[in-house]
Chains A and B, each alone.
Chain A
Amino acid sequence: MSLEKKLRNIGISAHIDSGKTTLSERILFFCNKIHAIHEVRGKDGVGATMDSMELERERGITIASAATNVEWKGTPINLIDTPGHVDFTVEVERSLRVLDGAILVLCSVGGVQSQSITVDKQLKRYNVPRLAFVNKCDRTGANPYKVKDQLIEKLGLNAVLAQIPIGLEDKHIGVVDLVRMKAIYFDADGGLGVEEKDIPADLNSEAEKMRENLLDAISMFSDELAELFLEGGEIPEDIIHDALRKGVLARGIVPVFVGSAYKNKGVQPLLDAVVKYLPAPIDVDNFALDLDDNEKEVLLKSEPTLPTVILAFKLEDGQYGQLTYIRIYQGSIKKGDELYNVRTRKKFKVGRLIKMHSNNMEDISEAGCGDIVALFGIDCASGDTFVKPGLNYSLTSMFVPEPVISLAVEPVDKKAADNMAKALNRFAKEDPTFRSYVDEESNQTIIQGMGELHLDVYIERMKREYKAEVQTGAPQVAYRETISKRADFDYTHKKQTGGAGQYGKVVGFMEPLSEGIYEFVNDIKGGKIPTEYIPACDKGFRTATKKGPLIGFPIVGVKMTINDGQSHPVDSSDMAFQSAALGAFRQAYLKAGPEILEPVMKVTVEGPTEFQGNIFGSINQRRGIIVSSVEDGRSSQVEAEVPLSEMFGYSTVLRSLTQGKAEFTMEFLKYSKIPKTISEELMKKFQEKK
């Protein structure tokens, strides 16, 4: 079977503490081990077993790379590392994009928590088919049935149990496979193998009941199965698998598996399910944007012979230079192929081609359609699209959101300064929403991003990966200025006292622009301003938008129109018209009802109901709007819109208000007008600083 038909590109999405890392490790471990065991067996024909000591040692494997290639029973699987944090970042979005399927991991005690909702939303946005794995069934209070209900109620998923646990909490010893109606235990081969037995008598009726539910749920995806189900006859296993797969691919069903990764329970059947039910590249529709046709969507085909389209989704600094992780969406590549980087418009040759395994990297000479591999020594940024020369497709829109928060960072010594420079350079390449610059006035290095956590992640990475110790200043919100009404200008810039003079006159108006940052319209008739000076006017306006007069933040949403003016045969110049435009802008701006905008975040707080009053209060105090609250049983989830400037330190406050029992997530929602009292305060501060 060709690669695009059998490969699985999967990610593991989870709430923190639901055991994502452990599950990933176990998957790598079992895949490697099984592979190794087969090899050993092939050579000497004697079964190899491992004792638990060795098993422990082998557990040291962690996913260090963005995509790790493993093999499970002959099926290649790329395990893609989805970042654990849920702050809005391009990095998270991009890693989700290269997935064809996902395992949603949930804790059998904690169930669906606010972060699970966020990660599920991300999966929904990218239309990723998924399986659910209810982990930690060995924990006190484990209740996978409840978690399955929450998947339905809280996430609106059509979740149905594909397994039921044999024993829970410290008695959790195995699972019942509801398709094959077999009990599966995990003690064989010193904890490596699986053993199938008959279902324990006390679980028989429960298993029958749950199997009915499963068959009922998937019957809508297979007429054949529905018929057999109604007739009440025996249903062959492959028909059930087939219906389940159809349901998962159609995002119509989420089969739920149970186990405990930590105790090595349920991992192998989960891998079987990945192979059976999650899609291969060919089963998924992917689109590119045709840059020659106004970013129109074009369907890509997972065919190795078509022109190549590749996304560079992650950069990593390796020992031997920059490693670029790519996913091949269409076509295939070989060493020595020529590719074209759509963003930089440069061609390059494919040099070293690498496949990452959990413990080594392998040089390969070609990579097939759908695969995820890495390139060495390519100069690019993450998110770049590489295509066969001749195509002009992009896999990502060229639109990048503006950062909403900034922070001053100060290296502690010279060495840290060097390392910091390296780190910042790298991060900016990886993540277009992360930026850094040196402020001219304060001479400080400022980093900018999409949220407090987003910047925290990078500061942590600077310390950990680049050994750059830095001190950070207070986070600063990225305000914007804008106008609310139309205003005219008529401005003459004139300096004609001795020597070469300067003369330029511009007349026109500014008005609010509902979509976009800035627009320039030239409506000059009869050459009142010579064509050669028009770009200078545009440039002057643009310069004016860089720093608004209210609080010194960029001005957005303005449309500038010039319709009249005057020039001087000798004294007019580019410089003169730039100055005139700058002056005109300032003249009109204050008449145009200038306003300050602030970033507003969508905040979700989840905690016990008894603290609801405190949670509501904390949002109210932060100028937040409560959109909704949902209560179920003991916990309540509050959704609100809160200005980012009010959210600093919220985690500490929330913790103390709720005895540490509530948690929150947030993501950027929109820019909104700031209330008058606050904008006056900001303007006062700005004036004082000046």
Chain B
Amino acid sequence: MVKDELINRSPLRILEKLLNGGLGKGNIGVLASKKGIGKTAFLANIATDKLCSDKPVIHVSFYKRTDHIISRYEDIFNEISKEKNLQNAAEISEEITRNRVIMNFNQQGIDVPRILSSMEALITGGNFKADTVIIDGFKIKEAGEEGLKAIKKFAQKLGLEIWISASLRMEGPVFNDAGIPYEIENLVDDFIDVLLTLKYDNQKIQMDIVKGHDGFGGQHSSHLYLDPKTLLVAAE
């Protein structure tokens, strides 16, 4: 298989269709689930898909080091190229890493303006033409309305698609009747354009579209899931 096919046949095209063409520039997408279900893998899938279409990605993380994030990407790419029997995989892998920057913040209590100003330094100072931003491991609840508002403004100003992961509490009821996580209920209306959730369902990690561009559709199954072994996005 060659690269173009890889993009065309990606199960993420299904998600794009369901979202009427994808998240879109200037918009915020949130992927919410409990810890350890596969948010990072899902977002890295989205990022890898973008990278394969030559769209630069900034991956923001909040760990101590960056090497395991890089190897996460490598794993996903290797799985994809193995599964799809990709030709000249090594070359494409090198090509896509050119378009990816990992920005890692490991100070305690970093605030949103600090993150955005570093990103802006990279985009304008470093002339990095980012298309998509992945913000993983971010404390969305703590950032609150103020924080999300700033991120939204930033996305619009620089024409970025921004995906944010949200870790949900492990105990007690997590989702309301509309499938919206209680913890971010107050943010969904004004600042989140697309809300996806991941849930364990019968040995599978099922992805639901809770909010799309058309508004709330309830727990609308996307027929997409995460293969628990390879952590690749797959379609039913």
B65 touching A154, Cβ below 8 Å: yes
Interface hits, B51-82 → A, CB 8 Å: 64-66, 70
Write the chain B residue with the least CB distance to A613. Answer: B125
A628 touching B102, Cβ below 8 Å: yes
Write the chain B residue with the least CB distance to A629. Answer: B103
B122 touching A616, Cβ below 8 Å: yes
- Does B20 count as interface, using CB distance less than 8 angstroms? no
How far is the CB of A146 from the nearest CB of chain B, in Å?
Answer: 12
Main secondary structure of the interface of A (DSSP, over half): mixed
How far is the CB of A283 from the nearest CB of chain B, in Å?
Answer: 29
A629 touching B104, Cβ below 8 Å: yes
- Contacts A612-B125, A617-B127, A631-B106 supplied; 11 other A-B pairs, CB < 8 Å: A156-B64, A613-B125, A620-B127, A628-B66, A628-B70, A629-B102, A631-B105, A632-B105, A632-B106, A632-B107, A636-B118
> How many residues on chain B are close to A (CB under 8 Å)?
23
How far is the CB of A143 from the nearest CB of chain B, in Å?
Answer: 16
- Does A74 count as interface, using CB distance less than 8 angstroms? no
Interface hits, A631-682 → B, CB 8 Å: 631-633, 636, 639
- Does A189 count as interface, using CB distance less than 8 angstroms? no
A156 touching B65, Cβ below 8 Å: yes
Q: How many A-B residue pairs have C-beta atoms within 8 angstroms? Tell me.
A: 75
Which residue among A156, A625, A629 has the maximum number of chain B CB atoms within 10 Å of its CB? Answer: A629
Complex alpha-carbon distance, A619 and B103, angstroms? 15
Tell me which residues across on chain A come within 8 A of B118, comparing CB atoms: 609, 612, 629, 631, 636
Contact of A153 among B65, B101, B124 (CB under 8 A): B65
How far is the CB of B174 from the nearest CB of chain A, in Å?
Answer: 31
Q: A609-B118, A612-B118, A636-B118 in contact; A628/B125 too (CB < 8 A)?
A: no
- Does A627 count as interface, using CB distance less than 8 angstroms? yes
- Does A614 count as interface, using CB distance less than 8 angstroms? yes
A617 touching B106, Cβ below 8 Å: no
A630 touching B66, Cβ below 8 Å: yes
Give the interface size class of chain A.
Answer: 20 to 34
Q: Could you give 28 example pairs across A and B, Cβ below 8 Å?
A: A153-B65, A154-B65, A609-B118, A612-B122, A612-B125, A613-B121, A613-B122, A613-B124, A614-B125, A615-B125, A616-B128, A619-B126, A620-B126, A620-B128, A625-B97, A626-B126, A626-B128, A628-B101, A629-B101, A629-B118, A630-B65, A630-B105, A630-B106, A631-B103, A631-B105, A631-B106, A631-B118, A632-B106
Interface residues of B (CB under 8 A from A): 64-66, 70, 97-98, 101-107, 110, 118, 120-122, 124-128
B128 touching A631, Cβ below 8 Å: no
Main secondary structure of the interface of B (DSSP, over half): mixed
Write the chain A residue with the least CB distance to B127. Answer: A620
Complex alpha-carbon distance, A606 and B221, angstroms? 46
Tell me which residues across on chain B come within 8 A of A615, comparing CB atoms: 125
Tell me which residues across on chain B come within 8 A of A612, comparing CB atoms: 118, 121-122, 125
How far is the CB of B182 from the nearest CB of chain A, in Å?
Answer: 32
Write the chain A residue with the least CB distance to B68. Answer: A156
Tell me which residues across on chain B come within 8 A of A617, comparing CB atoms: 125-127
How far is the CB of B222 from the nearest CB of chain A, in Å?
Answer: 31
Complex alpha-carbon distance, A625 and B102, angstroms? 12
Write the chain A residue with the least CB distance to B123. Answer: A616
Complex alpha-carbon distance, A629 and B70, angstroms? 12
Interface hits, A583-629 → B, CB 8 Å: 609, 612-617, 619-620, 625-629
Complex alpha-carbon distance, A570 and B188, angstroms? 90
Write the chain B residue with the least CB distance to A156. Answer: B65
How far is the CB of A627 from the nearest CB of chain B, in Å?
Answer: 7
Write the chain A residue with the least CB distance to B90. Answer: A514
